[in-house]
């Protein structure tokens, strides 16, 4: 069995509000099922291995985004090829913004993104902060915590991750949250996101296994705790 390899991009600069927990969840849910896996941390200047099966990038302050943006651009074609060929990817907040066309920050001007997602983001005067509740066609109810001043909008065709029931999501106006393109997800949900939304975690794992060329059926796990945590968070939102 080939180990499922997860690339965690820029954990030093881009992993806030519990984002690191997403990688722990992905790895642990594979461990529980006896699926070999490996997490490689990729910082600025590091090579992105060719044999990765999943990519994760979390959120960061505008300054962190400036620091990693150029390096991300250097890895742009590898990341885009990966996603275009069905590789699973999860990006949160600042990471999500950098996978769009650009993010205009109030302090640093325009930060160029790699354009995987048909979105642009701009800093606003509003801090969109708090618990957020989303209804997703694909995953059902999703919960998280958001904290951003950047507002994201679609340019051209894009599919949202879900519809906002409480909170802000992509921006204060259109009630849409995140984006999903092939098997790549962008979202504003920190929290961490995956511990309380195990359906998304297992979906990502399934895509990673498929991408690795293996055929492993995922055993059901007892998600009582995870689901009651989600319901609790939904109640709070
Ligand atoms: N700096 C970005 C914003 O405020 C991203 C913040 C984050 O990743 N939480 O919009």
Give the pLDDT confidence score for residue 1 in this predicted structure.
Answer: 84
Task: Indicate whether residue 13 lines ligand 1 (CB < 6 A).
Answer: no
Give the pLDDT confidence score for residue 191 in this predicted structure.
Answer: 86
Number of domains in the chain: 1
Task: Indicate whether residue 94 lines ligand 1 (CB < 6 A).
Answer: yes
Q: Is 217 a catalytic residue?
A: no
d(CA 92, CA 178): 9
Q: Is 93 a catalytic residue?
A: yes
Task: Indicate whether residue 124 lines ligand 1 (CB < 6 A).
Answer: no
| Two structure tokens written together for 69 | 């943006």
Cα(16) to centroid(ligand 1), Å: 9
Residues 6+ apart with CB under 8 A from 162: 134, 135, 136, 137, 138, 139, 142, 176, 177, 178
d(CA 185, CA 177): 11
CATH number of the domain bearing residue 159: 3.40.50.880
Give the pLDDT confidence score for residue 224 in this predicted structure.
Answer: 97
**Active site residue: 4, 42, 89, 93, which one?**
93
| Two structure tokens written together for 157 | 């065709």
Give the pLDDT confidence score for residue 58 in this predicted structure.
Answer: 98
Cα(36) to centroid(ligand 1), Å: 33
Tens-digit pLDDT string for the chain (237 aa):
899 999 999 999 999 989 999 999 999 999 999 999 999 999 999 999 999 999 999 999 999 999 999 999 999 999 999 999 999 999 999 999 999 999 999 999 999 999 999 999 999 999 999 999 999 999 999 999 999 999 999 998 999 999 999 999 999 999 999 999 999 999 999 989 999 999 999 999 999 999 999 999 999 999 999 999 999 999 988
Using most ligand atoms within 8 A of CB, pick from 147, 172, 193 the residue to mutate for ligand 1. 147
Give the pLDDT confidence score for residue 182 in this predicted structure.
Answer: 98
Give the pLDDT confidence score for residue 175 in this predicted structure.
Answer: 97
Task: Indicate whether residue 186 lines ligand 1 (CB < 6 A).
Answer: no
Ligand 1 atom index nearest CA of 64: 1
Using most ligand atoms within 8 A of CB, pick from 9, 14, 57, 61 the residue to mutate for ligand 1. 61
Q: Note if the pTM is more than 0.85.
A: yes
DSSP 133-192: EEEETTTEEEEEEEEEEEEEEE-SS-B-SEEEEES-TT-TTT-EE-EEETTEEEE--BSS
| Two structure tokens written together for 91 | 């990006």
* Inter-CA distances, 158 with 154, 172, 222, 229, Å: 6, 18, 34, 30
Cα(235) to centroid(ligand 1), Å: 25
Task: Indicate whether residue 198 lines ligand 1 (CB < 6 A).
Answer: no
Domain of residue 46 covers 4-236
């Amino acid at each position: 069995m080939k180990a499922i390899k997860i690339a965690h991009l820029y954990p030093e600069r881009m992993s806030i509000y519990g984002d690191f927990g997403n990688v722990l969840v992905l790895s642990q849910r594979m461990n529980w099922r006896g699926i070999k896996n490996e997490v490689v941390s990729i910082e600025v200047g590091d090579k992105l291995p060719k044999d990765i099966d999943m990519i994760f990038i979390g959120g960061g302050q505008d300054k962190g985004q400036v620091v990693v943006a150029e390096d991300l651009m250097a890895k742009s074609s590898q990341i885009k090829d990966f996603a275009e060929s069905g590789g699973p990817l999860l990006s949160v907040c600042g990471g999500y913004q950098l996978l769009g066309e650009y993010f205009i920050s109030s302090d640093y001007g325009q930060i160029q993104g790699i354009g995987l997602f048909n979105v642009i983001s701009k800093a606003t005067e509003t801090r969109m902060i708090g618990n957020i509740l989303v209804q997703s066609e694909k995953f059902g109810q999703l919960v998280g915590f958001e904290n951003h001043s950047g507002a994201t909008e679609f340019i051209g065709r894009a599919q949202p991750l879900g519809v906002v029931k409480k909170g802000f999501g992509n921006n204060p106006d259109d009630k849409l949250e995140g984006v999903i393109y092939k098997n790549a997800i962008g979202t504003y949900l920190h929290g961490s996101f995956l511990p309380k939304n195990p359906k998304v975690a297992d979906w990502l794992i399934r895509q990673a296994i498929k991408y690795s060329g293996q055929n492993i059926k995922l055993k059901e796990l007892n998600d009582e705790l995870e689901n009651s945590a989600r319901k609790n968070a939904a109640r709070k939102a």
